[in-house]
Chain A
Amino acid sequence: MTTQADDELWSAVADPSRRRVLDLLVSNGEVSASWLAGRVPFSRQAVSKHLVVLEEAGLVSRRKQGREILYQVEADRLDQATRAMADLADQWDRRLVAIKRLAEAAHAETKKKVSRTDRGKPS
């Protein structure tokens, strides 16, 4: 499983709306919440909520410039998130290989028993 910090990171990027916000920040650098709201299919309030979650997970930081608040991606934390996702894929690969090994061994065992029964005399 994952640690508490990973869980936060995980749920922050697991939401497609937040991934969309993150995508926009990644490709456009420092931008404001209103700028983001003009480019997503959800409300300005929803954008603000997503930014709060992303900030809490450490993926995004804010800076005040004049009367505007600008948001940008935290590259190190994003790198961590990327690795967490790659780890998840690896984890499932390892599990599937283990399932394959167990199921094939169980099946081979059953076949052996059946062929012994067929012959009618155990060796």
Chain B
Amino acid sequence: MATQVIEREVLIDAPAEVVWRTITEPDQMSQWFADRVDLVVEPGAHGYMGFGDQGGPVVVETVDPPTRFSYRWNHPRDEEPVAGNSMLVEFTLTPEGEDRTRLRVAESGHELRDWPDAEKQRYADEHQHGWGEFLDRLTSVIATPST
């Protein structure tokens, strides 16, 4: 079970197939994402995304056109990205009537590995809003100087 870090969505006036191409074709990706996209959209494919003079490896996980696309990144350079050492980015496309698509993106963090199942569930329930809640709490703590 992955713990969600961030979830965002947008409603697009275009069919899912068009949105799918926008998020998966490298020449399109370079227009909204990385400066350099070197990626084959196939499950298990290793690629690279460059941002200016920085960048990092990416490994494609799910390719299910035109509804689901996911990849892992932010893993240590010398390790294979798996659940536990990387961030998972998942795109979900849901058609909403003709020519309209809801696009949702979720970036999730490391899995809860060594916890008992009941505790995992409780923690996930408490944190269902992901980092939004954590952010609010941190912000309020930071705003209150400690003594």
Mark A residues whose CB is within 8 Å of B. 1-3, 7, 10-11, 14-17, 19-20, 23, 26-27, 29, 41-43, 46, 73, 75, 78-79, 81-82, 85-86, 88-89, 92-93, 95-100, 102-104, 106-107, 110
Contact = CB atoms under 8 A, between A and B. Distances in A.
Contact of B21 (A1, A46, A106): A106
Contacts, number: 121
Interface of B: 3, 5-6, 8-15, 18-19, 21-23, 28, 31-33, 49, 51, 54-56, 74, 87, 99, 101, 103, 105, 107, 109-110, 112, 114-116, 119, 123, 127, 131, 134-135, 137-139, 141-142, 145-146
B5 A88 contact: yes
Residue with the highest number of chain B CB atoms closer than 10 Å, among A3, A10, A96: A96
Q: In terms of DSSP, what is the predominant structure of the interface of chain A?
A: helix
A109 B101 CA distance: 17
Listed from nearest, the 8 A-B pairs whose CB atoms lie closest are A107-B14, A98-B32, A14-B109, A41-B119, A96-B10, A1-B51, A103-B14, A16-B3
B142 A82 contact: yes
A43 B115 CA distance: 9
Given A42-B115, A82-B135, A88-B6, A20 B13 contact: no
Given A1-B54, A79-B142, A96-B10, A102 B28 contact: yes
A99 B19 contact: yes
B18 A110 contact: yes
Contacts of A20: 123
Nearest to A102: B22
A15 B110 contact: yes
A82 B19 CA distance: 31
A20 B119 CA distance: 12
B130 to A, nearest CB: 10
